A = this chain, B = another copy of it.
Amino acid sequence: MAVPTASDEWEVELGRQIRALRLRQNLDQQQLADQAGIALNAVKNLESGKGATLRSLIQVLRVLNRVDWLRALAPAVSIIPVQMLKTKRPRQRASPRPAKKKKL
């Protein structure tokens, strides 16, 4: 199985995984759509990598009992963060950068 490179390919790969999860539960696309409260077309798009919204994805994950996956995106910082030694709270904004020069 090739590793996706382009964004489209990742979308297709994600679709494959969703389908795999669905089939493990032996659900058809219509059942999944109904239980997720979305249209059959949305499920088709999602599974085939033809474009989908985050909402469709999440609704589907809820039915497939994999919403917990969403929490695994930003892993908790491994060891004790150096930042905690100097600043109280984590950064809320990126550092300001010098503004671009304006035309005179």
Contact = CB atoms under 8 A, between A and B. Distances in A.
A41 to B, nearest CB: 15
Size category of the A interface is 35 or more
Contact of A59 (B7, B21, B93): B7
B10 A58 contact: yes
A7 B62 contact: yes
A79 interface: no
A94 B28 contact: yes
A95 B26 contact: yes
A31 B95 CA distance: 12
Q: State the 5 A-B residue pairs at the shortest beta-carbon distance, nearest first.
A: A28-B94, A17-B74, A17-B73, A20-B74, A52-B54
